[in-house]
Amino acid sequence: MPMPSPDAVPPSPEAIVDAALGHYAIGNMEQAWTLLEGVLVAKTLFAHAFEQLLGGASPAVIQAEMLAHGFGAAAVESQLQRAQTAFQDPFLAQLTAGAIAMSRDAPRLAEEKFRRALALHPHHARAGEVWDLLGWSLLNQGRYTQALAAYDALLALHPDHPTARQSRQTIVDLISPLAEQDHTGTGSHRLVYTRIPETLESLADLDQTIATHVLNHVQADAISLSTQSRIVTIGSCFAASVTRALRAEGVHAVNLTVGEEANNTFTNRMIVEHACQGKAIQERFLPDPTQPGAMRHALLTADLLIYTLGVAPCFFEQQTGQFSPNQGVESIRGVARGRYIFRNTTVEENVHNLLAMIDAIRAQNPSCQFVFSLSPVPLYATLERRSVIEADCLSKSILRVAIEQVVSTRPHCIYWPAFEMVRWLGAYFPGMYGKEDGSVQHVSEDMVRTIMRHFLRVYGPTTSRCAPVPDGSGEAPKIIVRKGKED
């Protein structure tokens, strides 16, 4: 690499770059490259000298080391002097440390240094330079909103900054690349673009996070509810919690959950087809065998059915492959004896069951609307050759895909992201589970209330307009919930 002459003090790096561009413009590529190499040498010397000063080395030792490596005396002296000037000024020291960190692909460290510089001297003559570099460091971390604020601060200081507006527009394009309106006039080709939250600070408030980052896509007119709407919940044990939360808000809601034995789409389909079509079913799967018509009445008069899907794994007959309802310990022993197999159901099987349930209810209650949700209650146990946590992830994933296929093909069927509120936001907000009893399987009651409060905010009447909670008499039967284990 060509070195600067030891007999002459080199011009500033900016002047060298300008000269290199002049050579490039007239086609003198070799001279342009030589000058740019000189800039790189100068920057290397400056960064090395500055870091040695930070480490406590004396200028004399630093100078001797760089000369021993063959660098020209004038270049060494010039860059060492620049490094000492920066080192002795707290603002310049932070600015320099940040610039060096950026050159070494350490944007988070660079951000820290730039913020310290601005905190030390927000009105420094070079504050605009720091805001520019801070914006660049934030942009490289994917923190676009904060980078935008940095460039706005730069433009407030220097409205005619040559690159700030371009940098700002780059960020705007990254944040909202589809901000332009649909030009067809119909809105049918309008795309949707949403982004993950950038920082923990942006997730400070749970309600705001749910509204902004979970429910920002929902359409309030997807279903229709009034103060007199009858809501029925069915599915996993989470459905019972949903019912309690709805009733606490003054909403007419009854629950058909029977617990562990009916937390899959196969058994729930059996229950629905028994109620709507009179198909045979074992008595233990009925919410209340003493009221044989109560379940049928609830389903056929429901304005809305909320179905929270629980788990995907089920038992099947080894010889015939037919579904076998969960019998607890007996089913587990049956697997050990080779009578049953325990496997995950497929997306297709669950879609088939869900569509059959919709058809059975709508055959006699055609206006019934459906809200499908995925229970955030984790898998209780597994017989698969994987951890229960991994098995739970696979189970929920299968059911989530099945729900998506159903709601995308049937009218007045929507998905409500209760699972995402608990599981995904639970990584950032503590207390999602077990506030009442310390259980890892019980979603905290206040979180369930939060979920349903947002549901009513989007789709239903306000609490003050809700009908009184029915007492179980008249045409709205009270369903007795049979207790069972969690999902």
> What is the total residue count of the chain?
487
Average pLDDT, the chain: 80
What was the pLDDT predicted at 245?
Answer: 82
pLDDT value, residue 292: 64
**Greatest distance between any 2 Cα atoms in the chain:** 105
* Residue ranges per structural domain of the chain: 13-175, 207-465
> In which element (H, E) is residue 256 found?
none
Q: Is 256 left (phi over 0), alpha (psi -120 to 50) or beta?
A: alpha
Residue 476 has pLDDT above 70, yes or no: no
The values of phi and psi at residue 124, to 5°, are: -60, 150
**Does residue 117 surpass a pLDDT of 70?**
yes
13-175 shares its CATH topology with 207-465: no
Give CATH for domain 13-175: 1.25.40.10
Return the minimum-mean-pLDDT range out of 28-32, 342-346, 360-364, 449-453.
Answer: 28-32
pLDDT tens profile 399-434: 999 999 999 999 999 999 999 999 999 999 999 999
The CATH superfamily of 207-465 is SGNH hydrolase (3.40.50.1110)
Lowest mean pLDDT of 54-63, 183-192, 267-276, 466-475, name the range.
Answer: 466-475
More confident residue, 38 or 18: 18
What confidence tier does 209 reach under pLDDT thresholds 50, 70, 90? very high
User: What pLDDT score does 15 carry?
Assistant: 64
Instruction: Assess whether pLDDT exceeds 80 at residue 145.
Output: yes
Q: Kindly state the tokens that stand for 391.
A: 């098995």
Token pair, residue 480, equals 């007795």
Per-residue pLDDT, averaged over 199-216, amounts to 89
106: left (phi over 0), alpha (psi -120 to 50) or beta: beta
Q: What is the pTM of this model?
A: 0.69
**Residue 71, token pair as written in the block:** 């660098």
Dist CA 154 CA 450 (whole Å): 41
For the chain, count helices (H), then strands (E): 18, 8
The phi and psi torsions of 338 (rounded to 5 degrees) equal: 85, 5
- Cα separations (Å) of 42 from 5, 12, 83? 12, 9, 11
Higher-pLDDT residue of 437 and 283 is: 437
- Per-residue model confidence (pLDDT) at position 367: 95
In degrees and rounded to multiples of 5, residue 244 shows phi and psi of -60, -40
What's the CA gap between 175 and 145, in Å, rounded?
8
Which stretch of 82-91, 398-407, 436-445 has the lowest confidence by average pLDDT?
82-91
Per-residue tokens: 282? 């074992």
Quick one: pLDDT at residue 187?
47
pLDDT tops 70 at residue 207: yes
Express each pLDDT in 37-85 by its tens digit: 555 666 676 677 667 777 777 877 767 776 776 666 776 677 667 777 7
* Lowest-confidence region among 30-44, 259-273, 316-330, 471-485: 471-485
pLDDT at residue 152 greater than cutoff 90: yes
User: Sorting pLDDT into bands at 50, 70 and 90, what band is 392?
Assistant: very high
Tokens of 185: 């006039």
Give the Cα separation of 395 and 381 in Å (integer): 12
- For residues 295 and 272, what is the distance between their CA atoms, to the nearest angstrom? 9
Other Cβ atoms within 10 Å of 233 Cβ, number: 29
The pLDDT of residue 8 is 40
Q: Residues 214-257: pLDDT tens digits?
A: 998 888 888 888 878 899 998 877 788 888 888 888 888 888 86
384 vs 292: which has the higher pLDDT: 384
Question: Which residue from 235, 273, 275, 231 is spatially nearest to 249, judged by alpha carbons?
Answer: 231
Q: Is the pLDDT of residue 261 over 70?
A: no
